[in-house]
């Protein structure tokens, strides 16, 4: 098509026909993607200004959206190359807004304000909530109850119905009447609601319009303007109005064109109904084909028949897709001649078995195009069907070192982690949200706190150590909350983590003070940002490259968008409480519109089909072509039937089959648009696995290709890992030349500042910091009965737990709670046991409300099982002489040391161990013997006597009894020890009682010796990892696994 510069392009015959159309004539330009529709509109404007004497304020081009208008404006400015009084290209909403500004000014009315989707959602949510609270929600049908009306999806459909009503000239009263006539009670209720909505919006200080209302108002102004154009301002002299991508034009936009046509303005539209992407927004793909009817005036037609984009294979795929689509009053544009072009494997289809593999393949293909094809990152795009898929793809590609950017409007503000952190901090400052342990952790690990998980663990450990020094017994969670709430509670922790936590706590307290001082939400959020001192480090990081720079860019973009949304909220409703804005922000799933500049670094675009309007790319990836995803055959507006409103207003009765066909054709058009954006390469990916199936659209593409993932890494991280591995392997094999090549290459990467290339960054190269034993020779080895089995199973796992690497879970917390209740409660009634548990239920670390509900059922089941055991025990005539009975058994290590040859330093070992623990229940049976009981709530406990023969915990309890360390049982014989298994594994009865037979004196001495040997091993400097039987066993859930997996270099 040539390059648009200051001189006139050489156009093909069809394009010349567009330029030769007489002044004042309306024209529809039909053309498939790549036939030069935008180019010919630019040349048409340039021809009118340069050769036909038009002034620049007599011509204007309407683009599909603001981004497209910006690009087209720059192209037109360079092409026309004369001063202009305003932009030569505008988005339809911008065009309408300027008209309304002029019209209102001429009428003495205030300037209009545009309601963004997010702002309109806030107003609608408020009204719906107010109706429910006031008991005025009786008009809605039963299936649209209060719970449904609180859903963001319902509000979205309500906004869509409101837009369709404006486009169809359906007033609230008429909508209610249509609801009665068509037996749609939801329309009747919506009519009343819309009437209330208008009353509220009209009461605002400024005149607010949503985008559809704005266009409708602009149309009224154009229709009522005098012959001299009074009220049209800069557009009063308009002679030519061109529309690019006219298939995206809504019904309201078409009416605005008709209004200008009736004023004698020539209308020229260019488009292709086969690639319309705005059907879900009410766009009419038949605008180009039905231009005479829409304008109610004669209009010519030109079909552009020569294609300049894509390869023959790409063209064949596109043609197969559009052949399944209705023509929408057109169809001639599908016959396209394409000049001969090279056609080397331009379409690649992949069916990976998982989403992770899909992202890996996509990243590989993008890097290959960038490295081998010299294609800039920004000239490639990944297109997904739904906006909800964008975040996962963005994270996956970023993790594989593919720079990405999401086009404006890609995600809702509430989905951004940095925005959620600011909202959480704001709600805590306002008193709307409690600063509990979960909130404290969320804030500390957010952008506001800057903690990673290791730093958080260090802070917890420091707080616990301080508490222990003060002989306190509060949990780490309680200490964390206290540190965030109590001024000065962190001043004695003069460490980096302590100072960071103190800074966050000070920021929160200052925010709370400003909230008390009636700060607006904008002031509240800005204060949090300013005091965090994040601006400089984030700006500095964004100037670099790699993942850190991309993350900094993303955070800055999100924060700027948050401030812009807060500022608009304050301007719209100055008296609103800040909490109202924060609550609605977290409820709304709508992206916030923002004029904030986005990161300019070259990056792969991630978007939906609608986001590709006016764009083409060297390489396009269609990602996630899945069954039930693309096509999405769910009919739009099913709750409120917004799609049926226009037909109802026109007296048309569509059939369900018609509605499904419309949806299918819309889905095919979205796919056709996506495919048509590729100039040279198209990659299609559809997961085919146990949980996902490819789309029925997949057969429209060539058969899948195997072996898409090559061995050679095409990322710095992958290259670094390969070179490190090559170096280590070469050294192990004494291949000195290969080792030198790898080392030289790594040195070049080190010089370039590549992470991980320097040996200083490699794990496992430093000598051990100490080879001293865990317990010194003059210390006592302390052995816990409950930890002996863990040590014997895997010494490495035991050591990690011993050094603070363990983490509590809801399951372990539930078991601990039951043990404590069993100790303090005397009742054998399940209701009493559960009541005691319920009083401490909030102490458990639930991550979500649904989890609390599930665990409550488990808790009640455990209470029932414990009650059943206690009842059965009492019925057998037994009595309890102690609960949580503490004991200590000293064990000399001399004999065990002499028998242990694993370490030559036997003389440097401790001489004494202490077996210390507590027994859940010490019972006297009806025959007078002593029974030792250990309550168990875990899933994997033994349930038979054979399973506990060698149980070291029961053995430890028996040894304590044998040695007289258990009080109140002197002179009695032992009955042995048993587990009482209360967990759900006991299917056929409430509990199991696997028993370990009573120890003889010989068995007690043998067990004592085994504990002594275990104590010696626990006190040493080396610990055995049972790699095959534990560490790498996927069902062991050990924390040792990460420590035995070889490095990438091994």
**Four-residue CA torsion sign, 746, 750, 752, 755:** positive
Hey, what are 462's tokens?
Answer: 């420091």
Q: CA-to-CA distance for 931 and 929, rounded, in angstroms?
A: 7
User: How far does Cα 393 stand from its chain's mean position?
Assistant: 10
* DSSP-derived 3-state class of residue 207: strand
β pairing state of 604-607 and 974-981 = unpaired
**Under 8 Å between Cβ of 22 and 16:** no
Q: CA-to-CA distance for 877 and 872, rounded, in angstroms?
A: 9
Q: CA-to-CA distance for 786 and 806, rounded, in angstroms?
A: 14
Please list the helix, strand and coil fractions of the chain in percent, rounded to the nearest 5, in that order. 50, 10, 35
The residues that bridge with 607 in the sheet, in sequence order, are: 383
**Under 8 Å between Cβ of 424 and 469:** no
Closest C-alpha among 926, 924, 1005 to residue 971: 924
Hey, what are 1011's tokens?
Answer: 């504990």
Q: Which residues sit in the known binding site?
A: 31-38
Q: CA-to-CA distance for 935 and 939, rounded, in angstroms?
A: 13
**Under 8 Å between Cβ of 554 and 606:** no
Helix (H) / strand (E) containing 976: strand 974-981
**Under 8 Å between Cβ of 59 and 84:** no
**Under 8 Å between Cβ of 937 and 991:** no
**DSSP output for 785-851:** HHHHHHHHH-HHHHHHIIIII----HHHHHHHHHHHHHHH-----HHHHHHHHHTTGGGS--SSHHH
In degrees and rounded to multiples of 5, residue 939 shows phi and psi of -80, -25
Q: CA-to-CA distance for 432 and 661, rounded, in angstroms?
A: 48
- Alpha-carbon radius of gyration of the chain: 37
Which bin fits 776, alpha (ψ -120 to 50), beta or left (φ > 0)?
A: beta
| Cα separation values, 924 from 119, 313, 669, 930, Å | 71, 86, 80, 5
The residues that bridge with 781 in the sheet, in sequence order, are: 913
DSSP state of 250: B
Q: Which residues sit in the known binding site for ATP?
A: 31-38
Which bin fits 533, alpha (ψ -120 to 50), beta or left (φ > 0)?
A: left
């Amino acid at each position: 098509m040539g390059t648009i510069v200051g001189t006139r392009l050489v156009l093909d015959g069809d394009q010349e026909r567009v330029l030769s159309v007489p002044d004042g004539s309306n024209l529809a330009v039909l053309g498939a993607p790549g036939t030069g529709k935008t180019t010919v509109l630019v040349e048409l404007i340039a021809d009118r200004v340069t050769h036909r004497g038009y002034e620049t304020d007599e011509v204007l081009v309407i683009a599909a959206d603001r981004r497209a208008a910006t690009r087209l404006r720059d192209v037109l400015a360079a092409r026309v190359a004369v001063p202009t009084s305003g932009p030569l290209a505008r988005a339809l909403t911008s065009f309408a807004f300027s008209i309304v500004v002029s019209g209102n000014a001429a009428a003495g009315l205030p300037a209009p304000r545009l309601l963004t989707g997010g702002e309109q959602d806030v107003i609608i949510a408020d009204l719906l909530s107010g109706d429910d609270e006031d008991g005025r929600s009786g008009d809605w049908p039963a299936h649209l109850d209060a719970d449904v009306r609180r859903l963001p999806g319902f509000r979205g459909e309500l906004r869509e119905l409101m837009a369709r009503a404006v486009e169809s000239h359906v007033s609230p009263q008429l909508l209610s009447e249509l609801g009665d006539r068509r037996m749609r009670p939801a329309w009747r209720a919506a009519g009343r609601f819309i009437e209330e909505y208008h009353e509220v919006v009209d009461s605002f200080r400024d005149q607010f319009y949503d985008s559809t209302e704005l266009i409708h108002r602009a149309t009224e102004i154009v229709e009522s303007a005098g012959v001299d154009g009074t009220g049209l301002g800069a557009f009063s002299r308009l002679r030519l109005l061109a529309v690019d991508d006219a298939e995206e034009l809504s019904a309201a936009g078409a009416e605005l064109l008709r209004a200008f046509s009736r004023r004698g303005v020539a209308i020229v539209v260019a488009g292709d109904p086969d690639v319309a992407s705005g059907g879900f927004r009410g766009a009419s793909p038949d605008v180009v084909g039905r231009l005479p009817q829409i304008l109610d005036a004669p209009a010519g037609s030109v079909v552009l028949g020569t294609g300049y984009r894509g390869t023959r294979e790409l063209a064949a795929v596109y043609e197969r897709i559009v052949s399944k689509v209705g023509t929408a009053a057109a169809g001639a544009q599908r016959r396209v001649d394409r000049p001969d072009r090279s056609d080397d494997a331009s379409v690649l289809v992949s069916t990976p078995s998982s989403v992770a593999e899909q992202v890996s393949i996509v990243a590989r293909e993008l890097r290959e195009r960038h490295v081998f094809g010299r294609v800039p990152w920004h000239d490639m795009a990944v297109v997904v069907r739904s906006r909800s898929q964008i975040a996962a793809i963005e994270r996956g590609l970023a993790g594989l070192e593919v720079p990405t950017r999401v086009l404006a409007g890609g995600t809702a503000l509430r989905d951004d982690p940095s925005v959620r952190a600011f909202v959480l901090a704001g709600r805590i400052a306002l008193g709307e949200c409690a600063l509990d342990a979960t909130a404290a952790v969320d804030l500390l690990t957010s952008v506001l706190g800057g903690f990673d998980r290791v730093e958080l663990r260090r802070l917890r450990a420091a707080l616990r150590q301080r508490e222990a020094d003060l002989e306190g017994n509060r949990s780490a969670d309680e200490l964390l909350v206290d540190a965030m709430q109590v001024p000065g509670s962190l001043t004695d922790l003069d460490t980096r983590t302590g100072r960071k936590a103190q800074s966050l706590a000070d920021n929160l307290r200052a925010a709370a003070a400003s909230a008390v001082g009636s700060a607006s939400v904008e002031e509240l959020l800005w204060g949090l940002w300013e005091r965090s001192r994040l601006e400089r480090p984030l700006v500095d990081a964004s100037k670099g490259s790699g993942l850190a720079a991309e993350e900094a860019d993303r955070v800055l973009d999100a924060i700027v968008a948050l401030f812009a949304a807060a500022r608009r909220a304050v301007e719209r409703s100055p008296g609103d409480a800040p909490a109202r804005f924060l609550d609605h922000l977290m409820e709304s799933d709508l992206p916030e519109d923002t004029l904030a500049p986005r990161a300019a670094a070259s990056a792969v675009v991630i978007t939906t089909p609608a986001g590709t309007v006016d764009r083409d790319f060297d390489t396009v990836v269609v990602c996630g072509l899945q069954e039930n995803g693309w096509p999405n055959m769910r009919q739009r507006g099913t709750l409120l039937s917004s799609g049926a409103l226009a037909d109802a207003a026109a007296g048309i009765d569509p059939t369900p089959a018609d509605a499904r066909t419309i949806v299918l054709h819309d889905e095919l058009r979205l796919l056709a648009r996506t495919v048509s954006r590729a100039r040279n390469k198209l990659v299609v990916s559809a997961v085919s696995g146990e949980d996902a199936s490819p789309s029925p659209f997949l057969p429209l593409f060539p058969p899948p290709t195997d072996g898409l993932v090559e061995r050679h890494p095409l990322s710095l991280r992958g290259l670094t890992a390969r070179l490190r591995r090559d170096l280590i392997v070469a050294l192990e094999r004494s291949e000195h030349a290969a080792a030198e090549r790898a080392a030289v290459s790594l040195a070049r990467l080190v010089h370039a500042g590549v992470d991980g290339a320097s040996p200083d960054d490699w794990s496992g190269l430093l000598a051990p910091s100490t080879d001293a034993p865990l317990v010194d020779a003059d210390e006592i080895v302390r052995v816990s009965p409950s930890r002996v089995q863990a040590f014997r199973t895997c010494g490495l796992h035991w050591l990690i737990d011993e050094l603070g690497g363990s983490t509590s879970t809801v399951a372990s917390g539930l078991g601990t709670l039951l043990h404590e209740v069993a100790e303090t409660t005397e009742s054998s009634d399940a209701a009493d046991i559960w009541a005691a548990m319920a009083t401490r239920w909030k102490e458990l670390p639930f991550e979500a409300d649904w989890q609390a509900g599930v665990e409550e059922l488990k808790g009640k089941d455990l209470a029932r099982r414990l009650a059943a055991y206690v009842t059965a025990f009492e019925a057998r005539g037994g009595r309890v002489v102690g609960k949580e009975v503490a004991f200590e058994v000293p064990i000399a290590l001399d004999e065990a040391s002499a028998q242990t040859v694993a370490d030559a330093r036997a003389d440097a070992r401790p001489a004494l161990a202490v077996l210390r623990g507590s027994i859940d229940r010490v019972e006297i049976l009806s025959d007078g013997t002593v029974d030792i009981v250990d309550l168990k709530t875990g899933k994997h406990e033994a349930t038979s006597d054979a399973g506990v023969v060698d149980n070291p915990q029961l053995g430890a309890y028996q040894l304590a009894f044998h040695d007289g360390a258990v009080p109140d049982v002197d002179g009695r014989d032992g009955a042995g020890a048993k587990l009482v298994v209360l967990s759900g594994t006991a299917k056929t009865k409430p509990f199991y009682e696997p028993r370990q037979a009573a120890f003889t004196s010989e068995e007690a001495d043998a067990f004592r010796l085994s504990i002594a040997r275990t104590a010696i091993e626990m006190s040493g400097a080396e610990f055995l990892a049972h790699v095959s039987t534990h560490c790498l066993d996927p069902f062991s859930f050990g924390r040792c696994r990460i420590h035995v997996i070889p490095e990438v270099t091994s």
